[in-house]
């Protein structure tokens, strides 16, 4: 099966099947209600800077697609919507276009549709290792990217019949890439990044990490469906067994921030309230992917509508916590309960210190 046709399989399964993790990762977090916000809602400023450009809100449409002729329209609608709303956009892995130049326009069309916003390119860490850091320039030129996300997806590779499981020297390849003139972001794809892995990445020179933790799309789940379709019973079982493998998104945000990275929250970010919670625990930006796939198969305005609801909920969260701007959200009182609290404690973090002054100690 080619990289390009696999892309269509993934989209079809994501549109037709329940592919999310069972848990709702942000449910354990509560922003403490401020009955006296003492601000005028009209004065709230949700804007921020990302990769040297202005955003209307700290939100990114996470990497999804491109790489098959039929995915071009989806990418263009996502791009038009991101441009209209004033948020950032990631494209899916550009590997297929490296293998077949004719597919380049399924990615480059994005920049034509969204000339002003930050656009993030995408490549797998294993492909980065194969092609070498020089490939970053080529990927960036293809879409006039502001940065390239290097994705880690070893859970998915483990469940994929054609999966590439040679993870040796990936950190070294990322270290070389971090020295390139093209800014990079290291990104998981639904299994999260621990403090240990984040520390390795930061030492290798990585500045921005997109955690993509457990709580949203499950690639093990998607691959379980694909395995079932071709009658591979054992891989189907593996996909089900590892469906929710990984680090929950909020835990991963806190751990990666503690390691010293700038953090993008993703994996189960399902509303502007989840964006606000992400920022309150240390993320600078939050991304969402799966909820936008169906709207993007319809038209640009369906995506705009979905994203405007995120912006609205972010604003309301800021009003009800008395946060006039994004930076104030990072200091609002917060409660952490349930599994997230247990995770943090089991990992040896001093949660009380974190909740009082957002300082993490072990
Ligand atoms: C159809 C689809 C394709 C995706 N392809 C990529 C990809 O090529 N590269 C990547 O880094 N992440 C990819 N992702 C993962 C998302 O960027 C994101 O990390 C993940 O879906 C978790 O976010 P969510 O729960 O909001 O969907 C894809 C997600 C979807 C739904």
Distance CA 247, CA 268 (A): 12
* For residues 17-45, average pLDDT: 96
* pLDDT > 80? residue 1: no
Q: Does the beta carbon of 64 lie inside 6 Å of ligand 1?
A: yes
Q: Does the beta carbon of 306 lie inside 6 Å of ligand 1?
A: no
Pick from 160, 103, 90: nearest CA to 126: 160
| Residues contacting 127, CB < 8 A, separation 6+ | 93, 95, 98, 135
Using the mean position of ligand 1's atoms as its centre, give its distance from the Cα of residue 29 in Å: 23
Query: Tokens 């809602």 label which residue?
Result: 41
* pLDDT > 90? residue 5: no
CA atoms within 13 A on the CB side of 282: 25
32 Rama sector, left if φ>0, alpha if ψ -120 to 50, beta otherwise = beta
What Rg value do the Cα atoms of the chain yield, rounded?
19
CA atoms within 13 A on the CB side of 109: 21
Question: Which of 145, 192, 217, 222 has most ligand 1 atoms within 8 Å of CB, for mutation?
Answer: 217
The H or E element that residue 201 is part of is helix 195-203
* For residues 214-230, average pLDDT: 97
Q: Does the beta carbon of 290 lie inside 6 Å of ligand 1?
A: yes
* For residues 10-17, average pLDDT: 96
Look at residue 78 in the predicted model and tell me its pLDDT: 98
> Per-residue pLDDT tens for 278-317?
999 999 999 999 999 999 999 999 999 999 999 999 999 9
Atom of ligand 1 nearest to the CA of 10: 1
Nearest CA to ligand 1 atom 25: 216
Q: Does the beta carbon of 187 lie inside 6 Å of ligand 1?
A: yes
Atom of ligand 1 nearest to the CA of 149: 11
The H or E element that residue 259 is part of is none
In this prediction the pTM is 0.97
Distance CA 15, CA 65 (A): 13
Nearest CA to ligand 1 atom 30: 64
* pLDDT > 70? residue 360: no
* pLDDT > 70? residue 361: no
Confidence of residue 214 (pLDDT cuts 50, 70, 90): very high
* For residues 260-270, average pLDDT: 98
Q: What is the DSSP string of 156-186?
A: HHHHSTT-----TTHHHHHHHHHTSSS-EEE
> Per-residue pLDDT tens for 238-264?
999 999 999 999 999 999 999 999 999
Question: How many Cβ atoms sit within 10 Å of the Cβ of residue 306?
Answer: 18
Distance CA 213, CA 339 (A): 14
Atom of ligand 1 nearest to the CA of 67: 8
Instruction: Give the whole-number percent of the chain exceeding pLDDT 90.
Output: 93
Q: Does the beta carbon of 267 lie inside 6 Å of ligand 1?
A: yes
Strand bridging mode 88-90 / 59-61: parallel
Q: Does the beta carbon of 11 lie inside 6 Å of ligand 1?
A: yes
Atom of ligand 1 nearest to the CA of 187: 11
> Per-residue pLDDT tens for 40-94?
999 999 999 999 999 999 999 999 999 999 999 999 999 999 999 999 999 999 9
Distance CA 261, CA 54 (A): 21
Q: Which residues pair with 262 in a beta bridge?
A: 208
Look at residue 186 in the predicted model and tell me its pLDDT: 99
Q: Does the beta carbon of 93 lie inside 6 Å of ligand 1?
A: yes
* For residues 26-43, average pLDDT: 98
- In degrees to the nearest 10, what's the CA dihedral of 96, 101, 105, 106? -20
Look at residue 6 in the predicted model and tell me its pLDDT: 86
Confidence of residue 354 (pLDDT cuts 50, 70, 90): confident
* pLDDT > 80? residue 108: yes
Look at residue 351 in the predicted model and tell me its pLDDT: 86
* For residues 16-42, average pLDDT: 96
Look at residue 161 in the predicted model and tell me its pLDDT: 83
Question: How many Cβ atoms sit within 10 Å of the Cβ of residue 337?
Answer: 11
Nearest CA to ligand 1 atom 11: 151
| Residues contacting 223, CB < 8 A, separation 6+ | 156, 159, 160, 235, 239
Look at residue 357 in the predicted model and tell me its pLDDT: 78
Nearest CA to ligand 1 atom 29: 64
CA atoms within 13 A on the CB side of 213: 29
Instruction: Note whether 48 and 59 are within 8 A (CB).
Output: no
* pLDDT > 70? residue 362: no
Q: What is the DSSP string of 15-42?
A: HHS--B-SS-TTTTEEEPP-S---S-GG
Look at residue 229 in the predicted model and tell me its pLDDT: 95
Q: Does the beta carbon of 190 lie inside 6 Å of ligand 1?
A: yes
* pLDDT > 90? residue 97: yes
């Amino acid at each position: 099966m080619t990289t390009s046709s696999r892309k269509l399989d993934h989209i079809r399964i994501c549109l037709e099947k329940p592919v999310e993790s069972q848990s709702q990762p942000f449910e354990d977090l509560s922003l403490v209600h401020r009955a006296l916000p003492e601000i005028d809602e009209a004065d709230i400023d949700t804007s921020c800077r990302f990769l040297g450009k202005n955003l209307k809100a700290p939100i990114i449409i996470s990497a999804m697609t491109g790489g098959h002729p039929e995915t071009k329209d989806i990418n263009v609608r996502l791009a038009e919507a991101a441009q209209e709303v004033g948020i950032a956009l990631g494209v899916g892995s550009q590997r297929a276009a490296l293998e077949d130049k004719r597919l380049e326009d399924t990615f480059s069309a994005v920049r034509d549709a969204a000339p002003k916003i930050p656009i993030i390119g995408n490549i797998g860490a294993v492909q980065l290792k194969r092609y070498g850091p020089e490939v970053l320039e080529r990927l960036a030129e293809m879409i006039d990217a502001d940065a390239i996300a290097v994705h880690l997806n070893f859970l998915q590779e483990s469940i994929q019949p054609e999966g590439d499981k040679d993870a040796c020297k990936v950190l070294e390849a990322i270290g070389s890439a971090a020295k390139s003139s093209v800014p990079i972001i290291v990104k998981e794809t639904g299994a999260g990044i621990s403090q240990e892995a984040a520390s390795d990445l930061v030492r290798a020179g990585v500045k921005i990490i997109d955690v993509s933790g457990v709580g949203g799309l499950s690639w093990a789940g998607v691959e379980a469906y694909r395995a079932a379709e071709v009658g591979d019973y054992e891989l189907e079982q593996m996909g089900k067994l590892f469906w929710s493998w990984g680090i929950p998104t909020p835990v991963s945000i806190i751990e990666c921030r503690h390691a010293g990275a700038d953090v993008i929250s993703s994996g189960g970010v399902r509303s502007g309230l989840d964006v606000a919670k992400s920022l309150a625990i240390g993320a600078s930006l939050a991304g969402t992917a799966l909820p936008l796939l169906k709207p993007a198969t319809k038209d640009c305005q369906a995506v705009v509508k979905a994203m405007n609801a995120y912006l609205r909920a972010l604003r309301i969260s800021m009003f009800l916590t008395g946060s006039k701007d994004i930076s104030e959200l990072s200091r609002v009182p917060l409660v952490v309960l349930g599994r997230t609290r247990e995770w943090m404690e089991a990992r040896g973090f001093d949660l009380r210190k974190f909740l009082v002054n957002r300082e993490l100690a072990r």
